[in-house]
């Protein structure tokens, strides 16, 4: 699903070319993915794990350790500035077989940005991730799920599908790692995209909840698959755009 790219990509020329595509009406009409996907409608008991806001050594590293020990794939939606600050962790994510997503450069509130500012946030993050890991993400998630038409168009022009989520492990109603994991297990359905966070705020409880969640999913007969695999279509599958779970 991801396309490896050379690290030396002549970023100035690339930015000009993408900008021309983004701001042309024909480019927008031809762009991939115009709506955010919340889950996959399927009869198979499969789910995808996604992480937002990293990389952060305090949380991403122990989470990667847990995923490695349990042979569990995930998708990390990374903030460009955090990739710059912790390039080794970003490279480890790729080396251990996980997928990457674009989570903007600075984690702004996209609903307050102009079209040009929105595009710059996505494009700069994309360039940073490419230069650091050699991978061009094909998934985008807006910070806090606050998306706009500008963000959807910018993501599509950069070759990304916007992804939101079905259920999140962090919620005010769940105050312990056990409650956090159980909250997801109570709500989970086939095709769900599960959201966790590995940065910005204190995510120590999420670190503790992750192995509990993985154990519970296994006991309920669910298999965790890469996001790209979850979203592979056949004639009987559809994307679902219904409201996502609240943070």
- The CA distance from 72 to 56, in Å, is 19
Q: Which of 52, 56, 198, 245 is catalytic?
A: 52
Angle ∠(42,48,51) on CA atoms, nearest 5: 150
Q: Distances from the Cα of 75 to the Cαs of 1, 27, 53, 203, in angstroms? A: 12, 28, 12, 17
Is 52 one of the annotated active-site residues of the chain? yes
Helix (H) or strand (E) holding 50: strand 46-52
Which of the residues 56, 98, 197, 198 is marked catalytic?
197
Q: φ and ψ at 28, to 5 degrees? A: -65, -45
Give the separation between CA 33 and CA 1, rounded to whole angstroms.
14
Q: Where are the alpha helices (DSSP H) in the chain?
A: 11-22, 25-30, 60-70, 80-85, 87-95, 115-133, 149-157, 177-187, 204-219, 227-230
* Structure-derived torsion over alpha carbons of residues 147, 239, 172, 187, reported in degrees to the nearest 10: 180
d(CA 140, CA 110): 13
Residue 146: both structure tokens together = 């606050």
Q: Is 197 a catalytic residue?
A: yes
So which residues are the catalytic ones?
52, 197
């Amino acid at each position: 699903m991801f396309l490896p790219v050379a690290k030396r990509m002549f970023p100035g020329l690339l930015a000009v070319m993408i900008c021309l595509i983004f701001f042309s009406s024909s480019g927008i009409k031809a762009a991939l993915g115009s709506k955010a996907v919340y889950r996959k409608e399927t009869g198979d008991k499969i789910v995808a794990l996604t992480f937002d806001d990293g990389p952060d050594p305090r949380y991403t590293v122990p989470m990667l350790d847990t995923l490695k020990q349990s042979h569990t794939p995930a998708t990390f939606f990374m903030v460009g500035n955090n990739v710059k600050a912790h390039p080794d962790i970003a490279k480890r994510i790729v080396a251990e077989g996980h997928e990457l997503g674009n989570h903007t450069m600075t984690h702004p509130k996209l609903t307050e940005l102009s079209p040009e500012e929105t595009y710059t946030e996505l494009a700069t993050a994309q360039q940073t991730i490419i230069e650091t890991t050699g991978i061009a993400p094909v998934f985008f998630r807006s910070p806090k799920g606050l998306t706009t038409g500008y963000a959807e168009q910018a993501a599509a022009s950069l070759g990304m599908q916007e992804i939101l989520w079905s259920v999140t492990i962090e919620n005010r109603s769940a105050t312990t790692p056990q409650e956090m994991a159980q909250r997801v297990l109570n709500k989970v359905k086939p095709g769900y995209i599960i959201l966790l966070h590995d940065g910005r705020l204190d995510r120590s409880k999420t670190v503790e909840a992750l192995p509990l969640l993985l154990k519970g999913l296994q006991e309920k007969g669910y298999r965790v698959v890469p996001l790209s695999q979850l979203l592979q279509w056949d004639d009987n599958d559809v994307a679902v755009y219904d409201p996502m779970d609240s943070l």
